Amino acid sequence: MTDLPTTHKLLKALHDHDLDTILPYVQHVLPVTPQVARAHLSRFFTPDDPDRVDLRHQSHELHSHLHSSAYTNLNGAVAKPNTARLRLSLLSKAYTQLIALGVLNVHPMQGLPRPINERRPAPLITREAIQSLHKAARNPLRTALILIDEHALRTRELTTLAWGHLHVPSGTLTRTHTATRLSDKALGALRELYFEAGGLLDDDSDLRPGPVFPWRAEADLRADLFKACQDAQLSYVTPGELRRASLRDRPHTPESAGFSPFDGDRQLRKVRDLAAEVADATTAKASEPR
């Protein structure tokens, strides 16, 4: 949360369409460089327009402005759908961060339709294939796969997870954006992994510092996952695809899936809608005449 003067400063910056003031407070949550973020987000900020739309509040006028701006390049040409999606995604992440800072209470982009992805979505891995993969995997990968399946852990959460993040008496895992109450299966898998390493989880004082998993980079995790897919006689599936399958199949709450409490409901609805689109596309493809 920010102090009151900073909150007022950022609200005024939104009113004035002052991207230079806002960007330093949100850049660290954006998956692009500051230069790329500025280039894309600047399409939404029109400080010289006396009739500029209010960026602080959800409205039909705001959504119309964002949609039009996302599809318009600097030279006036129409942007491709994927470019428009990226621009809207970056702005959405910036808004989510402003909510986390206490500057806004409601996400102004809630209800805004997103451009359709130019690529046809690939069908997600089936539940039966996930079960086969779990059987083929050995620890520590098996525990990581269970955490992805039960609680939609992101790759970075796995590669940075430490035993100190786990509170055994309550079965709670501290995550990037929230704390998750683990399922019995997930907690049991972590206990098994810790026992295999020679530790005891019955007493908090026995929790050793250090990482839960050996992978320090996503590439290392992917290499072990690739081998497990081969052992299970499956086509390679990424950690991200496994996470989306969890969001498709599990009755998640924002906390169980690791979403921010400030905007988790909206994010969870969005990913479930995307999963439904993938399922619809797969069903439609299967029903096409051959």
Domain assignment of residue 260, yes or no: yes
CA 248, distance to chain mean position in Å, is 14
From first to last of its 290 residues, what are the pLDDT tens digits of the chain? Answer: 789 999 999 999 999 999 999 999 999 999 999 999 999 999 999 999 999 999 999 999 999 999 999 999 988 888 888 899 999 999 999 999 999 999 999 999 998 887 766 555 557 899 999 999 999 999 999 999 999 999 999 999 999 999 989 988 899 999 988 899 999 999 999 999 988 877 655 554 445 568 999 998 889 999 999 999 999 999 999 999 999 999 889 888 888 888 776 665 676 666 666 555 554 444 443 333 33
Alpha carbon distance 226, 222 (integer Å): 6
pTM above 0.75, yes or no: no
Tokens at 277, concatenated? 């689109």
Domain at 236, CATH number: 1.10.443.10
Note down the domain range covering 259: 127-287
Domain assignment of residue 49, yes or no: yes
Alpha carbon distance 143, 132 (integer Å): 14
Give the count of domains, the chain.
2
pLDDT reported for residue 160: 92
Alpha carbon distance 153, 145 (integer Å): 9
**Dmax (CA) of the chain:** 67
Burial class (CB in 10 A: 0-12, 13-18, 19+), 135: exposed
Among 193, 225, 189, which Cα is nearest to 210's?
193
Domain assignment of residue 47, yes or no: yes
Beta bridge partners of 179: 174
Tokens at 8, concatenated? 């007022």
Are 28 and 171 in the same domain?
no
3-state secondary structure of 116: coil
Are 94 and 193 in the same domain?
no
Helices (H), the chain: 4-16, 19-26, 34-41, 60-70, 81-100, 127-136, 141-151, 155-160, 184-196, 218-231, 239-249, 264-287
Q: Of 100, 117, 135, which residue constitutes the final position of a domain?
A: 100
Among 202, 171, 207, which Cα is nearest to 186's?
171
pLDDT reported for residue 205: 46
Among 199, 215, 223, which Cα is nearest to 158's?
215
Other C-beta atoms within 10 Å of 80: how many?
A: 13
How many helices (H) does the chain have, and how many strands (E)?
Answer: 12, 3
pLDDT reported for residue 119: 54
Backbone angles phi and psi of 19, in degrees to 5:
-65, -35
- At position 273, the amino acid (one-letter code) is D
Q: Of 100, 135, 170, which residue constitutes the final position of a domain?
A: 100
pLDDT reported for residue 276: 56
In the sheet that holds 172-174, the strands lie side by side as 166-167, 172-174, 179-181
Are 144 and 275 in the same domain?
yes
Domain assignment of residue 267, yes or no: yes
pLDDT reported for residue 281: 43
Tokens at 51, concatenated? 């009739």
